[in-house]
Structure 1
Amino acid sequence: MRTRQVVAAATTTVLAAALLAVGVVRQGDQAEASTASPGPKDVIVHLFEWPWASVANECTTTLGPKGFGGVQVSPPQEHVVLPGSGYPWWQDYQPVSYQLKTRRGDRAAFASMVQTCHTAGVKIYVDAVVNHMAGGTSTGTGSGGSAYSHYAYPAVPYGTDDFHHCGRNGNDDIANYGDRWEVQNCELVDLSDLKTESSYVRGKLTAYLNDLVGLGVDGFRVDAAKHMPAADMAAFIDPVNGDPYVFSEVIEGGSGEPTPEEYQGIGDVTEFRYGDVVGGAFQNGSLSNLNNLASSMRLASGDAVAFVDNHDTQRNGKAKLTYKNGSSYALAEAFMIAWPYGVPQVMSSFTFSNNDAGPPAASNGTTNAVTCGSGWECEHRWRTTANMVGLRNAAAGAGVTNWWTNGSNQIAFGRGSTGYAAFNRSGSALTRTFQTSLPAGTYCDVMAGDFSGGSCTGPAYAVNSSGQVTATVAANSALALHVNARGSGSTTPPPASGCSTTFSANVTTTWGQNVFVTGNTAALGNWNPAAAVPLSSATYPVWTATVSLPGNTAVQYKYLKKEGSTVVWESDPNRTRTTGASSPCTATWNDTWR
């Protein structure tokens, strides 16, 4: 069993008694928590607001084949419908019942998705909204047809006595986050706060979670856990059937607030410091101290869920990096997967300029099927993320070996004798002989190409009998080798330090439109329209731009048109070309919009 430290000294006695009361066994200074964990395939991707059918398809086509362990799906319970507000993303966090009918699909679609993902070897973790119901200003009919009003949710049923009415601040909202009682008994931004100390409410919450487990759900992210006492949570989670994996959203606060450590006896806990430290390091290029990462965290590795950004920090300005930051974000995500701390959670989002914006949807608010690049960002498909999952799985349980740094913006390290990664956050190529613990052989660099059919689509490198490999890591890029991506045949030459590539595209536009190019490399913005490279119209209708691309690399790319916030992509499939292997390297790629 995995043991977790229960609480800080100041709250140990009170919480210990509460946990004993609900059956969480205490031994000395530690609590025996659930044995559930994600397992050796532990990378979780949050497919934020994805419809169930699209999640199922992604499990089959991408997540299973790439080795992702699980998906966090958005709340599946019936929620408010807010056309007057443009169907914002947060309407899904205002439940009106526990029936499984949302803008992403109904109960049958949800159950089918769970089974399809299981067949693909991917677990499903539900974002469970159990702290509150819909806000007091919301009255009407939910996404499943249930009527509701403030403190009255007859489909459950809940009535006024099932909620806290703290009576301190006029509107019952939390006013003082330094007051523990207010944080856990007043309302979070007007959301009707459930009386989780009530046996009736606890029974309803356990029944909801049991219903999901009965459909095959493997675990839960407990939303707004900080706003419920840990003892209350244990009381309705402990009776849930089976042994689901649980991780609690607890935002670290100041003096007087509930702490992340209080929730370790229930399961893992979100480590909000991770995005600050790792995101900040890759934002600034200060990588040399990342080998001391664990000492900067509040939670031990075995208790933490790590993330660079999540759906909240993307929008509230708290994330150091998001998809909008292109290569620095991609490298931070790759490092998180490669480095052995916590359970890594990858964000996969939709693009937005308005922080309240909901996902791409039909006029009635029903979420559109996911097409990556058409409003859906799909960060988890970036090669720097998807291919690093294979390294993490190959290295499961292995410690860090052969740490190296230039003292600033370049680092490299191994994972036992199974994997090796190097990160270059500088503006120039890094070429050196790296010391690894890998067995001798030929390895694909899965950051610059794929391993397919026993061969490499990108660069391959020879590791000698001493574990040494001479390689080049392009500027603002990474290299990754692991034992499950060993190619056959001779090695390819290392990438040139830069291939000066001119994009020349014949594109007819309307007044106000501009043309950009993006693709699967950092220099092209990693498929992020916000980071796409602008082309010049000086020779209209031929638009041009010259970009330094990694040499000897297969590059996928597409052109797009922008006008204000409107983005139009050219049609599929992606264009694919390979840059030259010589140095210096120049090329012109002539294309016509399609």
Structure 2
Amino acid sequence: MKLRYALIPAMAGRAFAGPVRRADAAGSVIAQMFQWSWDSVAQECSDFLGPAGYAYVQVSPAQEHPQGEEWSAEYQVVSYNLTSKHGDRAQYANMISTCHEAGVKVIADTLFNHMSGPYSGTAVGGSTFAPYDYPAVPFTTSDFHHCNNGHDDQIEDNSNATEVRFCELDTLSDLATESDYVRGKLAAYANDLLSLGIDGLRLDAAKHMQPADIANILSRLTSSVYITQEVASIQSDAVKPTEYVDNGAVQVFDYVGWFKDAFTDDSKGIWILHELDQQGWVESDRANVFVTNHDTERNGAALTYSSTNNVYHNALVLSLAHPYGTPTVLSSYEFSEATDGAPSSGVGDCSNDSGWLCQHRQMAGMVGFRNHVGDAALTNWIAPSSQRIAFARGALGFVIINNANEEWSSEFSTGLPEGTYCDISQVNSASGIDSACTGVMQLVVDGSGNLNVTVPPRFSFAFHTGAVCTGSSCP
């Protein structure tokens, strides 16, 4: 989708309406396992996500879609049968129960806004479809918007809220979500997912639906779940993100642009990210944030795994260390073309040269950091230049980010108790590190809470009171 960035005024004093819930502040990291099969996600919940402390796993859409290897195929709906290229209904249910056993909740990526594009065929589960004709639901032409705007029903003017919500996005058949019949079918789809134990819903393309339509569908859910909405918009647009906060959390695309600018533009710098929750965006408990997701890593709007100077890793460290929002860590794969589907037919593989990037594993230490510091206040802020920052999370954790090309030698007032701490910013093991800080930097905080250290160029340190060196090899 086309993304733009600006500041969003906070909606003070608002509360969620309907059967939605906020993510737990002290254990709220989401892993987006993009294009992983259901069996692979189940295994990764047991092997890594649960032991590492991830609270949620966001999985790809589960409903039936057209055949095709492109990743975008599954974002086109043919029916609400739970058969996709990632597995069948039984495998999906097994994934949910396995993840729950590992202590990980599951968020389903869902599609309420549209069906498939303007072509006919047989879908992955055997259902037939044609433009505005989906017998397996069933939907017919009267269940869709036909905006008659002179542009083949396509959105042409993003400054026109009516077009954005009643015309077609990228030729996808736009559902008439104001229709009680359509609302009923979408609620039944969501409730079927909930009946299998789903703990949350990501609402794809929420910007292209009226907030009242979403609210009505959510009011029909049979249980309380975490809701996060993709509203790829800015407050000055005709469709405003703050219009959606009463329905649940909103994915903050401003955050993506700010992080890219901060880490790549010295005239802005990472110091501007001091208090993200005071930048005019949606309030922290309504914000679902990410450095990049599957769309923005393909359209140039974000930092990605291929960004230079270690900025992607450092940005993820900052995202997980800062208290604003509920962070999502994208776990994806290498691609040559933006349309490329996953390697190995979606069978996730974190071994070398598999094509899978497994960023969720690389950030395991920082997931532990966020879980440990919980909702502790951001204190002891230091920003001697635009590309160097450090801050504490109460007396529980401290992070230093040097996004400059030179070393940073300084004495840092951490506010932490005296001790020898393990740098967990580079830890990629679900089991963490031993009490001797084997394989990682040891950071010595003196009796006054001060740390003297030299931070390498384009590097980060992070440590907390839950990872203290107590072995015989400690200095």
What is the TM-score when the length of structure 2 is the normalising length? 0.92
Question: Which of 295, 301, 304 is the matching residue for 1:312?
Answer: 295
C-alpha displacement at 1:430, in angstroms? Answer: 2.2
Question: Which of 343, 356, 364 is the matching residue for 2:339?
Answer: 356
The equivalent residue for 1:131 is: 113
Partners of 2:90 and 2:454 in 1: CA distance: 50
In structure 1, what residue type is equivalent to 2:394? Answer: G
Does 1:61 pair with 2:47?
yes
Does 1:224 pair with 2:205?
yes
Does 1:428 pair with 2:377?
no
In structure 2, what residue type is equivalent to 1:431? Answer: S
The equivalent residue for 1:282 is: 263
Partners of 1:80 and 1:128 in 2: CA distance: 16
**Deviations, residues 206-252 of structure 1 (Å, cap 9, x unaligned):** 11111111111101110000111000000011220111000110011
Counterparts in 2 of 1:254 and 1:65: CA distance versus 1, 3 Å:
closer
Counterparts in 2 of 1:289 and 1:420: CA distance versus 1, 3 Å:
same
Counterparts in 2 of 1:369 and 1:298: CA distance versus 1, 3 Å:
closer
The equivalent residue for 2:83 is: 101
Give the SS at the match of 1:92.
helix
Alignment of 1:392-431 (within 5 A): 392-431=370-409
Asked if structure 1 preserves the Cα contact closer than 8 Å seen for 2:70 and 2:339, the reply is yes
Question: Which of 154, 170, 178 is the matching residue for 1:189?
Answer: 170
The answer for unaligned runs of 5 or more in structure 2 is 1-7
Alignment of 1:290-301 (within 5 A): 290-301=273-284
**Greater relative contact order (CA < 8 Å, ≥ 6 in sequence):** 2
Does 1:112 pair with 2:69?
no
The equivalent residue for 1:380 is: 360
Partners of 1:30 and 1:103 in 2: CA distance: 38
The equivalent residue for 1:36 is: 21
C-alpha displacement at 1:143, in angstroms? Answer: 1.1
Partners of 1:228 and 1:305 in 2: CA distance: 19
Counterparts in 2 of 1:54 and 1:190: CA distance versus 1, 3 Å:
same
The equivalent residue for 1:149 is: 130
Asked if structure 2 preserves the Cα contact closer than 8 Å seen for 1:459 and 1:492, the reply is no
The answer for unaligned runs of 5 or more in structure 1 is 1-6, 13-26, 494-594
Asked if structure 2 preserves the Cα contact closer than 8 Å seen for 1:34 and 1:267, the reply is no
Counterparts in 2 of 1:423 and 1:31: CA distance versus 1, 3 Å:
closer
In structure 2, what residue type is equivalent to 1:353? Answer: S
C-alpha displacement at 1:34, in angstroms? Answer: 4.8
Counterparts in 2 of 1:28 and 1:477: CA distance versus 1, 3 Å:
closer
C-alpha displacement at 1:377, in angstroms? Answer: 1.2
Partners of 1:289 and 1:210 in 2: CA distance: 42
Question: Which of 315, 323, 327 is the matching residue for 1:340?
Answer: 323
The equivalent residue for 1:519 is: none
Partners of 2:289 and 2:179 in 1: CA distance: 32
Larger Rg: 1
Partners of 1:61 and 1:443 in 2: CA distance: 26
Asked if structure 1 preserves the Cα contact closer than 8 Å seen for 2:9 and 2:281, the reply is no
Partners of 2:253 and 2:280 in 1: CA distance: 9
Counterparts in 2 of 1:197 and 1:422: CA distance versus 1, 3 Å:
same
Counterparts in 2 of 1:403 and 1:97: CA distance versus 1, 3 Å:
same
Asked if structure 1 preserves the Cα contact closer than 8 Å seen for 2:61 and 2:74, the reply is yes
Partners of 1:193 and 1:339 in 2: CA distance: 38
Counterparts in 2 of 1:408 and 1:256: CA distance versus 1, 3 Å:
closer
Asked if structure 1 preserves the Cα contact closer than 8 Å seen for 2:422 and 2:441, the reply is yes
**Deviations, residues 486-509 of structure 1 (Å, cap 9, x unaligned):** 12136667xxxxxxxxxxxxxxxx
Counterparts in 2 of 1:318 and 1:179: CA distance versus 1, 3 Å:
same
Question: Which of 414, 430, 450 is the matching residue for 1:468?
Answer: 450
Partners of 1:205 and 1:464 in 2: CA distance: 58
How many residues in Structure 1 have an aligned counterpart in Structure 2? 459
Does 1:367 pair with 2:353?
no
Counterparts in 2 of 1:8 and 1:298: CA distance versus 1, 3 Å:
closer
Partners of 1:339 and 1:254 in 2: CA distance: 23
C-alpha displacement at 1:428, in angstroms? Answer: 2.6
Partners of 2:232 and 2:76 in 1: CA distance: 19
Partners of 1:436 and 1:28 in 2: CA distance: 33
In structure 1, what residue type is equivalent to 2:318? Answer: F
Counterparts in 2 of 1:317 and 1:8: CA distance versus 1, 3 Å:
closer
In structure 1, what residue type is equivalent to 2:254? Answer: R
Counterparts in 2 of 1:30 and 1:211: CA distance versus 1, 3 Å:
closer
Partners of 1:358 and 1:485 in 2: CA distance: 39
The equivalent residue for 2:67 is: 81
The equivalent residue for 1:90 is: 72
**Deviations, residues 441-461 of structure 1 (Å, cap 9, x unaligned):** 221111255743433122222
Partners of 2:161 and 2:137 in 1: CA distance: 28
Give the SS at the match of 2:57.
strand
The equivalent residue for 1:548 is: none
Partners of 1:390 and 1:170 in 2: CA distance: 50
**Deviations, residues 520-542 of structure 1 (Å, cap 9, x unaligned):** xxxxxxxxxxxxxxxxxxxxxxx
Give the SS at the match of 1:134.
coil
**Deviations, residues 291-314 of structure 1 (Å, cap 9, x unaligned):** 143333421212111111111111
Partners of 2:57 and 2:280 in 1: CA distance: 24
Alignment of 1:256-267 (within 5 A): 257-267=238-248
Identity of aligned residues (%): 42
In structure 1, what residue type is equivalent to 2:260? Answer: G
Say which structure is richer in strand. Answer: 1
Partners of 1:215 and 1:155 in 2: CA distance: 21
Question: Which of 122, 133, 143 is the matching residue for 2:104?
Answer: 122
Does 1:389 pair with 2:367?
yes
Partners of 1:76 and 1:205 in 2: CA distance: 14
Alignment of 1:136-215 (within 5 A): 136=118, 138-215=119-196
Partners of 1:150 and 1:293 in 2: CA distance: 44
The equivalent residue for 1:543 is: none
